[in-house]
Structure 1
Amino acid sequence: MIPAMPASAAAAARPRQAARAVLWLGRVAVMGTVTALILIAGVWASWGTAQHVLLTKGREQGTVEVTRCGGGSCSGPYSPLSAGSQARERVVLADSVAVAKGRTYSVVVKPGGDEAVRSGPAGVLYAWVPLGGALLLASVVVAGGLRRTRAAWVMAGSGVALLTAAFFAV
C-alpha cells in the first residue's frame, strides 16, 4: 500500500495552512478597519452641514438673495420664512459651484452666527457629498483588500448615485 502523502509532507503542510489563516485574518481585520475609518470620516465630514439641513426644527429658515461673492463665500440679505426668525442684512453662504450671484436660495441659518447652509433637496444632497466620495474610496478597499466585489459594486454604485444626484440637484 502506497500512502497518498508521506508523513513528513503532511506535517509540513499544517504550519503553512496555519500561516495562511493568520495572514487572511490579519488582512480582513486591517482592510475592514480601513474601510470603517473611511466611511466614518465620510459621515463625520458630511454631518457638519447635514445636521443643520436635516434637523431643522427650531432653526431659522428663510431665503437669501446672493448679492456679493468673493474670498470663498457669498453673502446677501436674509428674508425669514419660519416663525421666530429675524431678517438680517447679511448672511454668508460657502462659495461653491452651486451658488451664483443674483440668485435666491432657501437656507437654514446655523445657530449663533450669520452663516447659512442651503436647505431643501439640493441642500441635503450637497451636504452628503463627502459621504459619496467616501463610499467610492471604500469600495476600492472592499474590492481589493477584502475581495468582496459585490459589496464593492453596491458601495460604488451608491456613491456614484449620490454624487450624480447632488450634481443635478444643485
Structure 2
Amino acid sequence: MPKAAVMSGQGAAVALRFGRLAVMGVVAALILIAGVWASWGTAQYVMLTKGRESGTVAVTRCDGELCGGPFTGDGPAVRRGDVVIEDSVAVEQGRTYAVVVKPGSDEAVRSGPAGVLYAWVPLGGALLLASVVVAGGLRRPRAGWVLAGAGAALLTAAFVAV
C-alpha cells in the first residue's frame, strides 16, 4: 500500500473523530443550556426575591392547569385578592404555600427551599440527558456519571422537598 494512502486514511480518521467530538460537545452544551433556560423562567422569581411581592396563598380551588386562592402578603404589600399558581404535583387543594408573585400579574410561584429545587427540575432532567451524550458520544464515562449523579441528586432533592 502506498504511503500516501496510509496518511490520508489516518487523516480521515482524525477528522472524523474531531467531528464527532465537536458535534457531541455542541449537543451536550445545547441540552444543558436548554435546561438552564427552562429552569430560569421560574427560578429567577424564586431566587431573586428582593423587591418582589411575597407571602402565602391558601389554595381553595383547582381547575385544569391552575389552582388559586387568597394571597396574604408578608409585609406592607399592595392589597391583593386571589392569585393563581400552576397545578402540579407540588400543589394540593386545601393547603397553604409560601409564594412569590410574578411582577405585573396575579401568577405566583412557590418560594423557599422547595420552590428553588422545584424550579430547577428541568435542569436536573437536562443533566441526566446530557450525561448519556457525554458518556456515549464523547466517550467520557466518568464525566457522564458525574452529570448523571448531579441530575439524580437534584431531582431526588426536589422530590423530597416538595
TM-score range, shorter chain: over 0.9
Structure with larger Rg:
1
Task: Measure, in 2, the Cα distance between the counterparts of 1:9 and 1:98.
Answer: 68
Match of 1:25 in 2: 18
Of 106, 113, 118, which residue of structure 1 is paired with 2:110? Answer: 118
The Cα of 1:68 is off from its aligned counterpart by 0.3
Match of 2:38 in 1: 45
Task: Measure, in 2, the Cα distance between the counterparts of 1:23 and 1:48.
Answer: 38
Normalised by the size of structure 1, how large is the TM-score? 0.93
Task: Measure, in 2, the Cα distance between the counterparts of 1:88 and 1:77.
Answer: 8
The Cα of 1:14 is off from its aligned counterpart by 1.1
Of 42, 45, 65, which residue of structure 2 is paired with 1:72? Answer: 65
Match of 1:142 in 2: 134
Normalised by the size of structure 2, how large is the TM-score? 0.97
Root mean square deviation, CA, Å? 1.0
Task: Measure, in 2, the Cα distance between the counterparts of 1:11 and 1:40.
Answer: 43
The Cα of 1:78 is off from its aligned counterpart by 0.3
Task: Measure, in 1, the Cα distance between the counterparts of 2:79 and 2:129.
Answer: 42
The Cα of 1:59 is off from its aligned counterpart by 0.1
Gaps (5+ residues) in structure 1? 1-7
Give secondary structure in 2 for the equivalent of 1:30.
helix
Match of 1:3 in 2: none
The Cα of 1:99 is off from its aligned counterpart by 0.4
Give secondary structure in 1 for the equivalent of 2:54.
strand
Which segments of structure 1 move beyond 6 Å, counting only runs of 4 or more?
none
The Cα of 1:86 is off from its aligned counterpart by 2.5
Q: What percent of counterpart residues are identical?
A: 71
The yes-or-no answer on 1:12 pairing with 2:5 is: yes
The Cα of 1:10 is off from its aligned counterpart by 3.7
The Cα of 1:9 is off from its aligned counterpart by 4.7
- Per-residue displacement from partner, 1:11-56 (whole Å, max 9, x unpaired)? 3321111000000010011000101110000000000000000000
The Cα of 1:85 is off from its aligned counterpart by 1.7
Give secondary structure in 2 for the equivalent of 1:85.
coil
Task: Measure, in 1, the Cα distance between the counterparts of 2:107 and 2:65.
Answer: 13
Match of 2:94 in 1: 102
